[in-house]
Homo-oligomer: A and B are copies of this chain.
């Protein structure tokens, strides 16, 4: 699994809230020595998705529809923490924001994510007749 692969981990989960952490090691750096944006997004997308699964009715799959990241500070080391918060819970779409901070509490990125709450979709091909795939 991707999150485990890079060491991203959940540390708290509540109603409309989720928090995760990632250690900034060489495994998640880019060649210039900073944390790779993709590693930060892996953490942010994971916490938002797990938060949204927790908030959704049973039997829903959560897929990210849209994700925007504003990077505010390059990260060299330490541990980053991502706090995800539900902004909106609809029938079909949810919106979460995620703030990512470094070990000194400074903002390193702000994320806005729109998530789809979908019935029945599985990677192995199940789902209702007629299909409810993201793409039709």
Contact = CB atoms under 8 A, between A and B. Distances in A.
Interface of A: 1-3, 5-6, 26-34, 36-39, 41-46, 49, 61, 63-74, 76, 87-93, 95, 97, 99, 106-107, 110, 112, 114, 116, 121-125, 131-136
Copies in the complex: 4
B134 A71 contact: yes
A123 B73 CA distance: 12
Given A2-B38, A34-B123, A122-B32, A64 B72 contact: no
Contact of A76 (B76, B110, B123): B123
A69 B71 contact: no
> Among A28, A49, A69, which residue has the most Cβ atoms of chain B within 10 A?
A69
Nearest to A48: B37
Given A46-B38, A73-B134, A5 B2 contact: no
